[in-house]
Chains A and B, each alone.
Chain A
Amino acid sequence: MLGHDHFESVCAAATRGEATAEELAEFDSHARECECCRGSYAEMLAFAAREFAVSRAQGLAGTDTGLGGVDSDALTTRFLDRLAREGLPAVVAPPGAVARAVRGGALGRLAGPAWVPRAMRLAATLLTGVALGGAAVAWWQVRGDLPRAGAEAIAGAEVEVRRLTSELRASQARLDTASGTIAAALQRDLESGRRYQELERRVQRLQASLASAKDALAAAEQDAGRSRDRAVAAEVTAAANRARVDALQPLADDARTARERARAAEAVLADTHARVEELTGELRAANESLERHRQLMALSRDVTDLMGARNLHIVDVVDTDPQGRDRKAFGRVFFTENKSLIFYAYDLNEARIQKANFEYRVWARKESDPDTVHDLGIFYSDTTAQRRWVFKCNDQKVLSEIDSVFVTLEPANRKATTPNGSQLLYAYLRGQPNHQ
């Protein structure tokens, strides 16, 4: 609720024409119900008007306001027209020199030359005189008793009539001229009237255009109003969104804190992962070392068993080609009867089994029953540096049933029940033991 202090401020600005339209509208609504503010406005306006009047009255030497382009005659004419419309005709045509000065040349010219009324009055007088003179002469002639003095008077009257007739003709000529001038003036007046009507029609057209323009302006203002409404609605929405954002700010802070913690945890996890990998490597190395130790222990046990075994067969195996020459690959068999079989092979073709996906498989059979073949297993690479392969078997039952062993090259992805490849490294195991 705005107070009088605010409205008095608007009052002060309004009395200098410095208040905005919105302020004036606000003040207008208020002042219609507030006599105090109406009085304040009137007081301030009177004060401002007086000071303005004093300033202007002292600042101007005369009535010249510097409005060189103002058509003073037109202003005066329209003012007089308004006076005439509002029922003050005596003022509309002010008599005398002042009135002529006020009305200017335009109205004076329309009234015609100044001597025309006088000529018309003179013509009327002459016509009256001639008529009266003629009547007197006729009456005296009818009476027939004209005295001499009367005859002289008649002669004088006739002279006067002729003179007056001559003047009448001259006046008539001037009257004709004046009539022509008046007719021309009337013609100009008529043309001015037509021009005026044309201008009126043009004004009407312009007014129609103005009305259309006002309508367009009103429509544009309505559009602007709707746009303002939309802008206000958008601002409200934006404010609501800002409020939501403000409300979500704590959650955003929590999320940021959680992200930071997650990043820290990720860093810890990465460190842990690296440590695990490091420990895994160490474990792998330890396992490998343990495996080596275990193998060493196993080898050591095998060696110990072999060294102390009874009925031990140590057989060196060398293949020959059809020409009787030794093949490259050879083998060595450590066979403890009915107890263990260790078969070492050297210089086998390793590239062939890798490219064609083959494996070296060990078979065994009893010589008295050649159709019965035992699949003992496959060779494993024992040491790459020495190109040595090994096969071990501790199955005492199988070992008690077989007489010989041999090797074939078989596809790795097929389970073979009988040997298909050519035999390699054949060794007979039922001879006399090398070591009792």
Chain B
Amino acid sequence: MPPALARPILAPSMLGRPRTARTAHSRDPARIADCPDDELVAELRAGNQDAFAAVFARYHKLVYSTALRFLRDAGEAEDLMQSVFFEAFQKLGQFDPARGTLKMWLLQFAYGRSINRRNYLMVRRLHAQGPRNEGLDELAPWSSSHAPTQEASRLSHELLRELPDAQRATIEMVFFEGLTFTEIAERRQEGFSAVRHHYYRGLTRLRDVLAGEARSTRGRQGGGVLHEVKRARA
């Protein structure tokens, strides 16, 4: 990681600076709203607070809708959306444009946080019926310290084709079409448990191989290779 990216670009202290302290990189606020994402990121790293507002205005609906899709509660979704933007801006130093767009980066944050929050709430509701009711801590699998990063491994075209038909079809329906296990079970005329097992086996197999490939493929650009496969088929 370059030294310039090693520190948080938009620390709270920087956000709190008066407007007159903006850097020389700042541009006319009226034109920031129309900037492409990469320029907005550059402005953010330069300490331009208008870029912060512009990023929020551009993507808060996307993050909110993602959170709402998994949490199914407007209040929880809004709270999670705010947390995502807080955390994303504080960790902007970890963002690498070479690994994906700002939009994808925020979506990864939104997805990971939503799933973690959903799982945490389900466990908490279950434990609320019994004596145990622990809060979220660092040892919990849903802790924020386990949030996904841009370092996630990606699939290979060849590996996907080597999966058994049922596993490959399930993986594709999950990632390409966004179907739930129940929807896949109905479409494939299979039981829910069978679909879930196909997904688990396929994902485990992909992960095991990708764990070996990750070292050699680190730094490769673009989206998930699953989607590269899809594009190639199209």
Contacts and interface: CB of A to CB of B under 8 A. Distances in A.
Contacts of A49: 107-108, 111-112, 115, 148, 152
A25 B226 contact: no
Contacts of A58: 223, 227
A95 B141 contact: no
A42 to B, nearest CB: 4
Contacts of A18: 180-181, 196
Contacts, number: 238
B53 A94 contact: yes
Contacts of B112: 45-46, 49
Nearest to A88: B15
Interface string B189-218: 000000011011001101100110000000
B65 interface: yes
Contacts of B58: 63
A24 B115 CA distance: 12
Interface string A59-102: 01001111100101001101100100011111100111111011
Given A65-B61, A65-B65, A102-B57, A50 B33 contact: no
A18 B141 CA distance: 16
Contact of A16 (B12, B139, B140, B174): B174
Given A12-B203, A47-B153, A53-B108, A79 B60 contact: yes
Contacts of B53: 91, 94, 98-99, 102
Interface residues of B, number: 85
A122 interface: no
B223 A57 contact: yes
A37 B141 contact: yes
B91 interface: no
A79 B53 CA distance: 10
Contacts of A63: 58-59, 61-62
B152 A46 contact: yes
Given A37-B141, A90-B49, A47 B176 contact: no
A348 B39 CA distance: 151
B127 to A, nearest CB: 7
A228 to B, nearest CB: 11
Contacts of B61: 63-65, 67, 70, 72, 75
A17 B153 contact: no
Interface in B113-144: 114-116, 118-119, 122-123, 125-129, 139-142
Interface in B79-110: 81-82, 85-86, 100-101, 103-105, 107-108
A18 B184 CA distance: 12
A76 B56 contact: yes
Contacts of A52: 107-108, 111, 175, 178
B197 A9 contact: yes
Given A14-B119, A37-B141, A72 B60 contact: yes
Contacts of A88: 12, 15-16
A41 interface: yes
Given A12-B204, A50-B148, A55-B175, A91 B49 contact: yes
Contact of A55 (B139, B178, B197): B178
A390 B18 CA distance: 157
Contact of B140 (A19, A31, A221): A31
B226 A31 contact: no
Given A52-B111, A53-B108, A102-B53, A70 B146 contact: no
B149 interface: yes
Given A102-B57, A225-B129, A43 B207 contact: yes
A67 B33 CA distance: 21
A99 B50 contact: yes
A414 to B, nearest CB: 98
B146 A16 contact: no
B133 to A, nearest CB: 11
A56 B108 CA distance: 10
A309 interface: no
Interface in B29-61: 29-30, 32-33, 49-50, 52-54, 56-61
Given A28-B123, A70-B61, A17 B129 contact: no
B203 to A, nearest CB: 5
A97 B54 CA distance: 10
Contacts of A398: none
Nearest to B178: A55
A36 to B, nearest CB: 11
B231 to A, nearest CB: 9
Interface of A: 8-9, 12-22, 24-25, 27-28, 31-33, 37-38, 41-58, 60, 63-67, 70, 72, 75-76, 78-79, 82, 86-91, 94-99, 101-102, 218, 221, 225
Given A31-B139, A63-B62, 10 more contacts: A9-B197, A9-B200, A16-B199, A21-B125, A28-B142, A43-B207, A52-B107, A65-B61, A95-B29, A102-B57
8 contacts: A41-B146, A49-B107, A50-B100, A55-B178, A88-B12, A90-B18, A96-B28, A98-B30
The 5 nearest A-B residue pairs measured at CB = A96-B29, A97-B30, A53-B107, A46-B148, A46-B152
Interface of B: 12, 15-19, 28-30, 32-33, 49-50, 52-54, 56-62, 64-66, 68, 70, 78, 81-82, 85-86, 100-101, 103-105, 107-108, 111-112, 114-116, 118-119, 122-123, 125-129, 139-142, 146, 148-149, 151-154, 174-176, 178, 180-181, 196-197, 199-200, 203-204, 206-207, 210-211, 223-224, 226-227
